[in-house]
Amino acid sequence: MARYIFVTGGVVSSLGKGLSSASLGYLLRSQGYKVRIRKMDPYLNVDPGTMSPFQHGEVFVTDDGAETDLDLGHYERFTDISAKQSDNITTGRIYSDIIKKERRGGYLGKTVQVIPHVTDRIKEFIRKDITNEDFVICEIGGTVGDIESLPFLEAIRQFSNDNGRSKSLFIHLTFVPFLKSSDEIKTKPTQHSVKELRSIGIQPDIVICRSQQSIPLDQRRKISLFCNVDIANVIETVDVKTIYEAPISFFNQKLDKQVLKFFKIKSKKRPNLLPWKKITNIVLKTKRTVNIAIIGKYVNLKDAYKSLDEALTHGGISNKVKVNLIRIESDKLRSKEIKSKLNNVSGILIPGGFGKRGTEGKIEAIRYAREKRIPFLGICFGMQMAMVEFARNILKIKKAGSSELDKNCFPVIGLIDEWNKDGKIIKGTDKNLGGTMRLGLYEAKLRNNSAIKNIYKYNIIKERHRHRYEVNINLMQKFEKKGLIFSGISPDNQLPEIIELKNHPWFIGVQFHPEFKSRPLNPHPLFSSFIKAAKSFNGK
Ligand code: GLN
């Protein structure tokens, strides 16, 4: 029977609950246990799909097409276990299901209440789709004391009662500040946070204390005493230099050992930390850098392209270079500045995106990459804009565009039914838009003797998608005649998946999001190859 580990946070947000859960997941998995990690988000959005990256960071897409919280990306990257739709739930989803059921008369006239109906639905989520897992780690978003988290905390309290206290472990992550003026480490916020948790009926079994410096024994004793937690279960996590150090740091602090001890399990084997040590070393010691420009709408927000930033770092790790990201806001990029802003970059990347703002700047930058033979990677919207650039400047289709941005353009990119009707182009209508995203894993056939085949080394690949518009397949011959090759295509030959330029050292566009599948211990081949090309680029 699965054992459940609940991870809550206190004092302040952004303490690294996701990273702690992911690191624990790795340590347990590496000892041969089957692990699953899930996230409960207290906000009222049904899923993060419609949330702005400005507010909430990236939307992480799973194999089965769920649009989820970016913490699931951390989990995947650290544990290499593919997350599923059933691993992320929000208050909004719970309420929306409950209200739908109520409208159908599903509650047979009973009063529908937070307890038991909402809490029951949360408990259902915790148990759902679990078969032979040894450990299920559930992270509860938000901070203890928030109104929104209350039903989740009540549900996990009930769950531990139903499931058996010995099969449910509570980990509470708090902040232990250091006060410079008095040269002291303060444990009071942690005491208060645990008190708050206990007032809801949850006694944490392990307290992880995030701190800028090591916590002296005396202070740990104090936390142990006031929080009613064994001293061995007061675990510190001191800021690491790179996130890849986190599994090593938690192992040194014996987090996994204490977890196994709680469940009265003997460790099967020592976790393998060698790969993390290796990459930590590379990340911290590498001197040589390559400059990569990312030109997008949300570049100034730290987490808006989380998986992409990670994947580029992974590409750097596999080439033993540091990737220096130069973030350029696309709507501030004027054509006359292109040269000066992109003068010292060795690679240009246009990420996924939606909407018209900043597109002309992106198109200009793509032209610069094509003409100056600078390695270029276009992801999803980035690929679509590369097609538009080529159509306008090489195929001389002046009105070439994407119908997402201009309903009166010549749709090089558009909704597929705009050109699938008897081969004739018809104008898309707004009603086509609702709930029509292509989400999750889809196959692509790779063409022989192409750059992409050389990179992946497979005939068929599977990658994650999140887009609504497609490249107009009817234009394939026109593009190919001029040297832009459709080197990856859907198995039914309908949807172009990958494009590449023939006479260019490295110019590739992909309709999917390869960044979601890159792992620090297993960098994605496309990013490794892109950074390799950037490393050997010596243009100018
Ligand atoms: N806006 C484009 C589309 O919907 C691209 C989406 C993306 O880059 N993820 O097709």
Per residue in 201-255, pLDDT (tens digit) is: 999 999 999 998 899 999 999 999 999 999 999 999 998 899 999 999 999 999 9
Closest by CA to 75, choosing from 446, 519, 532, is: 519
- Angle ∠(131,135,137) on CA atoms, nearest 5: 110
Q: What is the pLDDT of residue 432?
A: 45
Q: Does the beta carbon of 352 lie inside 6 Å of ligand 1? A: yes
Residues 308, 524: Cα–Cα separation, whole Å: 11
| 104 Cβ contact list (under 8 Å, min separation 6) | none
State the burial class of residue 369 (Cβ atoms within 10 Å of its Cβ: 0-12, 13-18, 19+): buried
137 CA to centre of own chain: 18
Mutate to test the pocket of ligand 1, among 380, 495, 497 (most ligand atoms within 8 A of CB): 380
SS3 label, residue 296: strand
Q: Which atom of ligand 1 is nearest to the CA of 379?
A: 8
Task: Evaluate if pTM is beyond 0.75.
Answer: yes
Residues 228, 222: Cα–Cα separation, whole Å: 10
Distance between Cα 444 and ligand 1 center (Å): 18
Residues 223, 492: Cα–Cα separation, whole Å: 61
pLDDT mean over 428-454 = 80
| 177 Cβ contact list (under 8 Å, min separation 6) | 185, 186, 189, 211, 212
22: how many CB neighbours lie within 10 A of its CB?
27
Q: What is the pLDDT of residue 479?
A: 96
Side-chain half-sphere exposure of 317, counting CA atoms within 13 A: 26
Please state the CATH superfamily assignment of the domain spanning residues 286-538 in this structure: Class I glutamine amidotransferase (GATase) domain (3.40.50.880)
Q: What is the pLDDT of residue 63?
A: 96
First to last CA, the chain: 62
Of all residues in the chain, what percent carry a pLDDT higher than 70?
96
Q: Name the helix (H) or strand (E) containing 28.
A: helix 17-29
For the stretch 470-493, pLDDT in tens is 999 999 999 999 999 999 999 999
SS3 label, residue 377: strand
For the stretch 39-58, pLDDT in tens is 999 999 888 877 777 777 89
Query: Position 351: which residue type?
Result: P
For the stretch 209-223, pLDDT in tens is 999 889 999 999 999
Q: Does the beta carbon of 467 lie inside 6 Å of ligand 1? A: yes
Catalytic residue among 380, 470, 504, 524: 380
Q: Does the beta carbon of 142 lie inside 6 Å of ligand 1? A: no
In the chain, CATH 3.40.50.300 sits at 3-278
Q: Does the beta carbon of 438 lie inside 6 Å of ligand 1? A: no
Catalytic residue among 465, 504, 513, 524: 513
354: how many CB neighbours lie within 10 A of its CB?
15
Q: Does the beta carbon of 354 lie inside 6 Å of ligand 1? A: yes
515 is catalytic: yes
Instruction: Place 540 in a pLDDT band, splitting at 50, 70 and 90.
Output: very low
pLDDT mean over 376-398 = 96
Can you give the three-state secondary structure of 267-294, one letter per residue? CCCCCCCHHHHHHHHHHHHCCCEEEEEE
41-55, 101-115, 299-313, 520-534: least confident range: 41-55
Q: What is the mean pLDDT of the chain?
A: 92
Q: Does the beta carbon of 47 lie inside 6 Å of ligand 1? A: no
Mutate to test the pocket of ligand 1, among 362, 379, 381, 513 (most ligand atoms within 8 A of CB): 381
513 is catalytic: yes
Instruction: Place 407 in a pLDDT band, splitting at 50, 70 and 90.
Output: confident
| 45 Cβ contact list (under 8 Å, min separation 6) | 51, 90, 92
Q: Which atom of ligand 1 is nearest to the CA of 382?
A: 8
209 is catalytic: no
Q: Whose CA is nearest to atom 8 of ligand 1?
A: 352
CATH class of this structure's domain 3-278: alpha beta
Q: Whose CA is nearest to atom 5 of ligand 1?
A: 381
Place of tokens 């292109």: 338
437 and 380 Cβ atoms separated by less than 8 Å:
no
| DSSP labels, 206-263 | EEEEEESSPPPHHHHHHHHHHHT--GGGEEEEEPPSSGGGHHHHHHHTTHHHHHHHHT
Residues 283, 321: Cα–Cα separation, whole Å: 8
Helix, strand, coil percent values for the chain (each to nearest 5): 40, 20, 35
Residue 536 pLDDT exceeds 70: yes
pLDDT mean over 331-342 = 83
In the chain, CATH 3.40.50.880 sits at 286-538
Q: Which atom of ligand 1 is nearest to the CA of 470?
A: 10
68 and 168 Cβ atoms separated by less than 8 Å:
no
Q: Whose CA is nearest to atom 7 of ligand 1?
A: 352
Q: Does the beta carbon of 404 lie inside 6 Å of ligand 1? A: yes
For the stretch 144-161, pLDDT in tens is 999 999 999 999 999 999
